[in-house]
Structure 1
Amino acid sequence: MKKKRKIFCSFLKKETEGLEYQFFPGKIGQQIYEQISKKAWNIWLEKQTKIINEKKLNMFIEKDRIFLEKKMKNFFFKKKKN
């Protein structure tokens, strides 16, 4: 059985189980892999689905993918106001 990766999740602000592999390409994908937990990623996937459906995004269209990527970056890394 493979040992689970522990990371400090910058989204949940606690140490928890990390992702098993990099789900997103490039630098942002590496940042997500290193700083975002499996739980936080699953929270994003639910939100992402809602955004795609509400905005009627088509992932074959580049501008829609860019829009969704910006939403993802803001979701994970935008400084939250208290």
Structure 2
Amino acid sequence: MAHNVFCARYKQEMEGLDEPPFDSDFGHKIYNNVSKRAWGEWIEHQKMLLNEYRLQPWTPQAQEFLVEQMNQYFFGEGAQLPKEYVPPSPR
């Protein structure tokens, strides 16, 4: 059975994730408030952050930074792009 949520990013009822992305209170907050579509978009945004900032995701500092960015992306004013970021040109 589909899990529907009122998506914090899109401000509408949408299909939710199949399970919490991680086992914590924040993971459950995402599960209950973020759609599959918004989560997929976050994954792409996170890849850009990892590349632009050359983060090593196994380090506590990178994990803390990504959680802060994720919180802003879904529940704040949106995550900011790195100052030097240049989006890829369309193909």
Greater percentage in helix? 1
Does 2:37 align with 1:25?
no
Using the TM superposition, give the Cα deviation of residue 23 of structure 1 relative to its aligned residue in structure 2, in angstroms.
Answer: 0.6
Distance 2:62 2:3 in 1: 32
Q: TM-score, normalized by length of structure 2?
A: 0.80
Q: Provide the identity percentage.
A: 33
The amino acid of 2:61's aligned partner reads K
Using the TM superposition, give the Cα deviation of residue 53 of structure 1 relative to its aligned residue in structure 2, in angstroms.
Answer: 0.4
Using the TM superposition, give the Cα deviation of residue 14 of structure 1 relative to its aligned residue in structure 2, in angstroms.
Answer: 0.6
Structure 2 residue runs without a partner (length 5+): 79-91
Provide runs of 4+ in structure 1 moved above 4 Å. none
Distance 2:41 2:32 in 1: 17
Distance 2:52 2:16 in 1: 29
RMSD: 1.2
Structure 1 residue runs without a partner (length 5+): none
SS of 2:21 mapped into structure 1 = coil
Number of aligned residues: 78
Distance 1:66 1:40 in 2: 20
Using the TM superposition, give the Cα deviation of residue 6 of structure 1 relative to its aligned residue in structure 2, in angstroms.
Answer: 1.3
Using the TM superposition, give the Cα deviation of residue 24 of structure 1 relative to its aligned residue in structure 2, in angstroms.
Answer: 2.2
Distance 1:63 1:45 in 2: 18
Among residues 4, 16, 20, which one is paired with 2:2 in the alignment?
A: 4
